[in-house]
Amino acid sequence: MRADGVVTIWHFDDSDTPIRRVFKNVHIDAAEKIDKNGIKQKGFFDAKTATVRIPTTEEIGVLPGDYIFIGECSDALPESEDALKIIEVKDNRRGGQRHWRIVCGG
């Protein structure tokens, strides 16, 4: 697993202010939705998906409903057109390549 990417995650908890964290040395597998003829699908917005793997043995405090930006971002809140919503968070901190697996889409 090649882990040389950077992501910014905004975690929303009970407070009004989201917690922004930057994770470096992560693996990113990003794609845009493409139909069977190789044409990018159009709709109200371009569909994007990403699977991000954060190698760590620690808790990261990320939940479905939080937002992720591919790259480093210093904004206090994510821009809706640039950030992806986190759909699923899996704890894969067992075995040889311990990591968190985050699936997101926009």
Indicate the residue type of 7. Answer: V
Query: What is d(CA 92, CA 36) in angstroms, rounded to the nearest whole number?
Result: 32
Listing DSSP states for 15-47 in one string gives SSSPEEEEEEEEEEEEEE-B-TTSPBP-SSS--
Tell which wins on pLDDT, 67 or 14. Answer: 67
Residues 6+ apart with CB under 8 A from 71: 6, 7, 8
> Lowest mean pLDDT: which of 6-15, 34-43, 82-91, 92-101?
34-43
pTM value is: 0.81
**DSSP code of residue 80:** T
Average pLDDT, stretch 50-62?
A: 94
Query: What is d(CA 40, CA 36) in angstroms, rounded to the nearest whole number?
Result: 10
Query: What are the pLDDT digits (tens) for 2-47?
Result: 778 999 999 988 877 899 999 999 999 877 655 555 555 544 345 5
